[in-house]
Chain A
Amino acid sequence: MENRSLVTIANHSREKIEYLIKMASAFEQNPNRRLLEGKVVATLFFEPSTRTRLSFETAANRLGARVIGFADPKVTSGTKGETLKDTIMMVSNYADLIVMRHYLEGAAQYASEVAPIPIVNAGDGANQHPSQTMLDLYTIHQTQGRLDNLDIYLVGDLKYGRTVHSLLMAMRHFNPTFHFIAPEELAMPAVYKKYCDEHGIRYIEHSDFNAETISGADILYMTRVQKERFADLDEYELVKDRYLLKRNMLTKARENMKILHPLPRVNEIEYSIDDTPHAYYFQQARNGLYAREALICDVLGITLDDVLKA
């Protein structure tokens, strides 16, 4: 049987991304489609992530599946020294699909090689988080009416931020212009700039973060600058507020500009921005449900036609 697991969407074609967006859109119209009646979905979270788990479990429930699994690795045999392979093989006996989150990089790829059932990667360490990327793409499409020819500003931690790396790679089909705004310590790594060069993606690096710099943005993608990334805490104190998006910075923003954030936010976006038409991070999070319903269906071989008929 063809392995339909979803480990990454970095290699998805333009057509495949557009197809999944259509499917997610069908779920936005109606999220309750009982396409997975009688199926069991296992959510294995070897690393806690409440937000992602609730989103996946809601998706499975709204599709009519039963959900089993664990939210906390402390309760599993992994703590007794069981290998990932053994856990996956055991759960494969019970479920039709495994959604897994793991702290090790490449865990989902390996699980997809040993499991007789499809695996959906819900994040493997600093490596991949394809459902986040899918919901980001869906949200960008939803707010702009297209994915092509957009100015996308990435702000904050561009060094360790897995979401911005995956987004950058997935956008390569759509002729974007990226703008990188980050402290020196957290600048976009050379390997991703090289990726841009190789794929003809334009990018501009900015050191300032003000109304002027972001006036050309269609999408302002904010990420969290994490304290623990800094060796020097004085340095952190110095830069942390430099990347705070303030309401008065939106005066020159394009009308269609939307602010995204993978959440949780700490102090990247002023709360007074929440009620502006630019704020879109909560809708973005809700889109996670539709994107995940689409991804779950796709790995189980359920087509867009099936979804529309259900």
Chain B
Amino acid sequence: MKRKELLVAAIENGTVIDHIPSDKLFDVVSLLHLERMKTAVTVGFNLKSKITDQGHKSIIKIADKFFTDEELNQLSVVAPNVTLCLIRDYEVAEKRQVKMPDMLEGIVHCPNAKCITNNEPMRTRFRVANRELGILQCCYCNKDLPLSEVKIVEQQ
């Protein structure tokens, strides 16, 4: 079988985040603070894909970086179906799925303008109100927030 050309160069060691919905790419970049990385980060945007609904996907390869579960699980609010590959010596050493934590701190923006979190210099906090239906609830104003409407907080 002829191996297709890789659109994004392979990395020797590090983390590959694949099947990111393209409209969520920059949320992923922001959540993982990739703009602060010192090692090589390669990004593929709007690549053809048979897996995602949109017919295209994005991919990020971060060299020499392995994230904690906590860091990676943050992605569950914007891109729950990404594929995570830990690469060692050009091989996939481990695959992981992101898992939605019970509590999301400092990640999700509360859309309620009258919520205290939008009026004080403080971190937001959401609990998962319904995992099946994908509904979060603000721990402060108690308003429900469907995952489809989640906006992540602007990172400082």
Query: Within the complex, which residue of A110, A127, A128 is in contact with B120, where a contact is CB–CB below 8 Å?
Result: A110
Question: Is A110 a contact partner of B114 (Cβ separation < 8 A)?
Answer: no
B152 within 8 Å of A by Cβ? Answer: no
Give the interface size class of chain A. 10 to 19
Nearest A residue (CB) for B112: A105
A206 within 8 Å of B by Cβ? Answer: no
Q: A84-B116, A105-B116, A125-B114 are in contact. Are A110 and B140 (CB under 8 A)?
A: yes
Question: Is B138 a contact partner of A106 (Cβ separation < 8 A)?
Answer: yes
B139 within 8 Å of A by Cβ? Answer: yes
- B13 shortest CB reach to chain A, Å: 41
A83 within 8 Å of B by Cβ? Answer: yes
Instruction: Give the residues from 123 to 152 in chain B that come closer than 8 angstroms, CB to CB, to chain A.
Output: 138-144
B58 within 8 Å of A by Cβ? Answer: no
Question: Is B119 a contact partner of A104 (Cβ separation < 8 A)?
Answer: yes
CA A126 to CA B119, docked complex, whole Å: 16
Chain B residues within 8 Å of A105, by CB = 112, 114-116, 140-143
Q: A83-B120, A85-B120 are in contact. Are A106 and B140 (CB under 8 A)?
A: yes
Chain A residues within 8 Å of B120, by CB = 83-85, 110
A215 within 8 Å of B by Cβ? Answer: no
Instruction: Give the residues from 94 to 130 in chain A that come closer than 8 angstroms, CB to CB, to chain B.
Output: 102-107, 109-110, 124-128
Query: Within the complex, which residue of B112, B139, B144 is in contact with A191, where a contact is CB–CB below 8 Å?
Result: B144
Q: Which one of B121, B138, B142 has the highest number of Cβ atoms from chain A below 10 Å of its Cβ?
A: B142
B117 within 8 Å of A by Cβ? Answer: yes
Query: Within the complex, which residue of A107, A126, A128 is in contact with B116, where a contact is CB–CB below 8 Å?
Result: A107
CA A1 to CA B143, docked complex, whole Å: 29
Chain A residues within 8 Å of B141, by CB = 105-106, 125, 127
CA A133 to CA B60, docked complex, whole Å: 52
Q: List 26 A-B contacts (CB under 8 A).
A: A83-B120, A83-B121, A84-B119, A84-B120, A85-B120, A85-B121, A85-B122, A102-B116, A103-B114, A104-B114, A104-B115, A105-B112, A105-B116, A105-B140, A105-B141, A105-B142, A105-B143, A106-B116, A106-B139, A106-B140, A109-B116, A109-B140, A110-B117, A110-B120, A127-B141, A191-B144
* Other A-B pairs, 14, CB within 8 Å; known A104-B115, A128-B142: A83-B121, A84-B120, A85-B120, A85-B121, A103-B114, A104-B114, A106-B116, A106-B117, A110-B116, A110-B117, A110-B122, A110-B140, A127-B142, A191-B144
